[in-house]
């Protein structure tokens, strides 16, 4: 089993010192930085905007994995691209024309991702899979960190892995929600290659980040 890429969600970081937190997880060995953008409309929470993303960009060279949980989403694509996003992931329900949204992301020179909520079927990707660079499976309902993993999503991960393999394209399969060292292994076994982990990364403070990330990759025991 190849070790998955780890994309810590800064939703679980200390917002009073986000720049320091981003530098700390970079030094601890994360692969990407996951940035959850919520608008209080598409999801029942409000987080950050493109100004914060722009402010964080000088603190790391790691890819910014920006998950837009906003509706309507198209109005925000250029702002987050200009702020420093490398991957922009959107939900099919967040705009009237998901194919057009994906085209717009790629036209901005960014990688395009599509995120599926727990009740959104894998079949939603039938006419999108050839156009995207990433699929994000939500293993919790979006809006808040610290939720429990919904195990039914493992079947969806398996189904999407088969879809990706049929294309022959290099498409990442990412999982977000309730990921810890135990569920991380289940996700990777099902076919995921990128894991978003907020609480499991930031638990214990900066001195623990490297051990936490290693445990999520399956390279070390869970720290005591």
- For the annotated catalytic residues, the residue numbers are 36, 176
> CB neighbours of 49 closer than 8 A, spacing ≥ 6?
37, 79
| Cβ-contact 214, 25 below 8 angstroms | no
| Cβ-contact 193, 160 below 8 angstroms | no
Residue 63's Cβ-count burial label (10 Å; 0-12, 13-18, 19+) is: middle
Distance of CA 198 to the CA centre of its chain: 10
Binding residues for a divalent metal cation: 34, 36, 67, 176
Binding residues: 9, 34, 36, 67, 143-146, 176-178, 198-199
Q: In whole angstroms, how far apart are CA 9 and each of 103, 124, 137?
A: 26, 25, 15
Handedness of CA 184, 177, 192, 26 (dihedral sign): negative
Per DSSP, the three-state class of 52 is helix
Residue labelled with tokens 């990759």 = 217
Residue 169: CB atoms within 10 A of its CB come to 12
| Cβ-contact 62, 32 below 8 angstroms | yes
Binding residues for substrate: 9, 67, 143-146, 176-178, 198-199
């Amino acid at each position: 089993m190849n070790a998955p890429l780890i994309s810590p969600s800064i939703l679980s970081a200390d917002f009073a010192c986000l720049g320091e937190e981003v530098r700390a997880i970079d030094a601890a060995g994360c692969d990407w930085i996951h940035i959850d953008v919520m608008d209080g409309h598409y999801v029942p929470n409000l987080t950050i905007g493109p100004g914060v993303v722009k402010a964080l960009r000088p603190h790391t060279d790691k890819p910014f994995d920006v998950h837009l949980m906003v509706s309507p989403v198209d109005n925000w694509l250029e702002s987050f691209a200009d702020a420093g996003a490398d991957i922009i992931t959107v939900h099919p329900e967040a705009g009237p024309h998901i194919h057009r949204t994906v085209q717009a992301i790629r036209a901005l020179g960014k990688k395009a991702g599509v995120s599926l909520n727990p009740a959104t079927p894998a079949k939603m990707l039938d006419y999108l899979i050839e156009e995207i660079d990433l699929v994000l499976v939500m293993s919790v309902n979006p809006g808040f960190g610290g939720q429990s993993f919904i195990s039914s999503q493992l079947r969806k991960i398996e189904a999407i892995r088969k879809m990706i393999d049929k294309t022959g394209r290099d498409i990442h399969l990412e999982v977000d929600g309730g990921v810890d060292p135990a569920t991380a292994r289940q996700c990777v076994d099902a076919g995921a290659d990128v894991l978003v982990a907020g609480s499991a990364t930031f638990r214990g403070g900066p001195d623990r980040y490297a051990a936490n990330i290693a445990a999520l990759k399956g390279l070390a025991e869970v720290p005591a």
